[in-house]
């Protein structure tokens, strides 16, 4: 069985919880990503996504220069460990309808991230990747 550490994107950029959402948006733009893990000293606290910025800041008319990442992030985050297999990540991503999954070391420090693209292009189970994509993309009941 293939391990997540074999296909994950390592050395993921993160952002501090006290950064502003403007800082997060600029980082997303520079990195060309839609989500950034929120960490403090390597410990995963949450994830901030472009959708979080729109729904929790812009739609509410809040000041993007003053709202912190901590206020806008999704704190209820799921993750896997680098020694978990790809089937576990696929199941979590499908069940929770998420496109990116943080990967932690045994010491619970952020070491990487898995995306649907990683599963599709580097994973060993192509059929599983297609099923995950279908489930993530389907509307929740």
Judged against a pLDDT cut of 70, whether residue 131 lies above it is answered with: no
Question: Whole domain around residue 133: which residue ranges?
Answer: 4-137
Q: What CATH number did the domain enclosing 78 receive?
A: 3.10.580.10
Q: pTM for the full model? A: 0.83
Q: Which one is predicted more confidently, 98 or 20?
A: 20
One DSSP character per residue, 106-133 reads: TTSBEEEEEEHHHHHHH-S-HHHHHHHH
Q: Which one is predicted more confidently, 122 or 130?
A: 122
How many folded domains does the chain comprise?
1
How far apart, in Å, are the Cα atoms of 46 and each of 125, 127, 134, 137?
28, 30, 25, 22
C-alpha 71: how far from its chain's center?
A: 17
Burial of 53 (0-12, 13-18, 19+ CB in 10 A): buried
């Amino acid at each position: 069985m293939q391990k997540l550490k074999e296909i994950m994107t390592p050395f993921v950029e993160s952002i501090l919880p006290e950064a502003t959402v403007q800082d997060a948006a600029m980082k997303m733009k520079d990195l060309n990503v839609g989500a950034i893990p929120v960490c403090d000293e390597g410990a995963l606290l949450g994830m901030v996504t472009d959708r979080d910025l729109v729904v929790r800041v812009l739609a509410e008319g809040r000041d993007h220069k003053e709202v912190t990442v901590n206020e806008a992030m999704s704190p209820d985050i799921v993750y896997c460990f680098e020694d978990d297999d790809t089937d576990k990540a696929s199941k979590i991503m499908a069940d929770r309808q998420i496109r990116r999954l943080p990967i932690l070391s045994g010491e619970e420090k952020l070491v990487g991230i898995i995306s649907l693209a990683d599963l599709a292009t580097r994973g060993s189970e192509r059929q599983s990747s297609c099923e995950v994509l279908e489930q993530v993309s389907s509307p929740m009941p």
